[in-house]
Amino acid sequence: MFHPVLSSVAKENGRYRLQAVQVQILPTATPTLITVDTDGQRLTRMTHETGWWVTKPNQSLTALIPKRTARLLVEIAHQITEETIVSLTLTNPTWIFRFPNGEVRTQNLSGAFPDYTKIIPPDGRPTLTCSRSSLISALRRMETISDPLSHPITIQVNQSEILLSTVNAHIGEAHEPVEATVQTDSMILGFNGKLLLEGLGTIEAEHINWSMASPAAPCVIKTPHQTILTGHMSLCRSGCHSLLWYPPTDRIQE
């Protein structure tokens, strides 16, 4: 629940509200948990349906969980099995996560989380589909050559593949194709390769679907079983794109 969004948490010197994970619980038949995080430049959101209600709330509940608490919960989750029952008690301002051998208590941070909903485009048909592992392998090779400060990677979308490229004035350049199923016109996209790798690393599915209305519009990358949206700053003039890309003018504000 928390692991996929931690890659987008702001650094320690960031605004404190961006150093937290927003958790929203919807009163659906099966409890729906939505975790969101952003550092102002990239955004990750995950929707997860799980468990059952002991006492069902009348309305949705939202809290800001400190980053350190989220990381602790991830560490505990790695030490228990999928069959382990974890209970969550919601009080104001304390949320209590109970495990078989202990519990974690956390207080909600005060303040409002940035309004990220305006930059998320409506669902659209997949523009292209590619292998996550192949894309990650190619990006890692690009990263060995790309500029260590900005990590610029361009992706040219062609008829049956995407072509990754990077140029370093001191080392040289690299180009590598990745097979893809493309349902759009040719275009060139720009990425920060390091941030894109971090986002892709939180996804478990082998195939990922990209959708975008145009080269300058936000882009969403989803998997068949996960709703994970991640945004990064693009580095090319054709626009800003990512697992969820948004242009500099649409940067998330508090």
Same domain membership, residue 157 and residue 92 = no
* Domain-located, residue 119: no
Give yes or no: residues 204 and 164 share one domain: yes
Global pTM reads 0.71
* Residue 122 belongs to some domain of the structure: no
Residue 121 lies in a domain: no
Handedness of CA 236, 238, 239, 241 (dihedral sign): negative
Given this model, what pLDDT does residue 209 score?
86
Q: For residues 152-160, give the mean pLDDT.
A: 89
- Unique residue bearing structure tokens 């292998």: 131
Taking the CA atoms of 25, 28, 29 and 35 in sequence, report the sign of the dihedral they define: negative
pLDDT at site 249? 39
**91 and 133 within one domain:** no
Higher pLDDT, 177 or 1: 177
Model confidence at 250, in pLDDT bands (50, 70, 90)? very low
Residue 181, domain member (yes or no)? yes
187 plus 224 within the same structural domain: yes
In a domain, 176, yes or no: yes
Least confident range of 22-31, 49-58, 143-152, 203-212: 203-212
Which of 47, 80, 114 is the endpoint of a domain?
114
* Residue 99 and residue 20 share a domain: yes
**Is residue 122 packed enough to be buried (19+ CB in 10 Å), middle (13-18) or exposed (0-12)?**
exposed
Residues 76-90: tens digit of each pLDDT: 888 888 888 899 998
Specify the number of domains making up the chain.
2
Same domain, yes or no: 101 and 9? yes
Structural domain harbouring 132:
128-250
Do 155 and 188 reside in the same domain of the chain?
A: yes
> Is residue 90 one of the residues assigned to a domain?
yes
pLDDT, tens digit, 9 for 90 and up, residues 172-202: 999 999 999 998 888 888 878 888 888 888 7
Q: Is residue 9 part of a domain?
A: yes
Neighbours of 69 (CB within 10 A): 19
Q: What would the mean pLDDT of 157-162 be, rounded to a whole number?
A: 92
Confidence of residue 46 (pLDDT cuts 50, 70, 90): confident
Q: Which one has a higher pLDDT value, 207 or 14?
A: 207
b or e along 12-47 (b: 16 or more beta carbons within 10 Å of the residue's beta carbon)? eeeeebbbbbbbbbbeeeebbbbbbbbbbbbbbbbb
Q: Does 109 share its domain with 151?
A: no
Last residue of some domain: 52, 87, 114?
114
CA-wise closest residue to 207 among 126, 129, 125, 123: 129
CA atoms within 13 A on the CB side of 160: 0
Q: Does residue 96 sit in the same domain as residue 169?
A: no
Most confident of 172-176, 206-210, 249-253: 172-176
- Are 49 and 146 part of one and the same domain? no
The domain boundary, picked from 91, 114, 137, lies at 114
Measured at the alpha carbon of residue 28, what is the angle toward residues 111 and 88, in degrees to the nearest 5?
60
Closest among 100, 116, 127, 114 to 213, alpha carbons compared: 127
What is the predicted pLDDT for the residue at 238?
31
Q: CATH code at 73?
A: 3.10.150.10
- How far is residue 78's CA from residue 179's CA, in Å, rounded to a whole number? 33
The C-alpha atoms of residue 220 and residue 43 are separated, in whole angstroms, by: 11
Indicate whether 245 and 166 sit together in one domain. Answer: yes
Distance CA 200, CA 254 (A): 26
- pLDDT, tens digit, 9 for 90 and up, residues 95-138: 999 998 899 999 888 777 877 777 676 666 678 899 999 999 99
Over residues 144-165, mean pLDDT: 90
56 and 28 in one domain? yes
In this structure, what token pair is assigned to residue 9? 């948490």
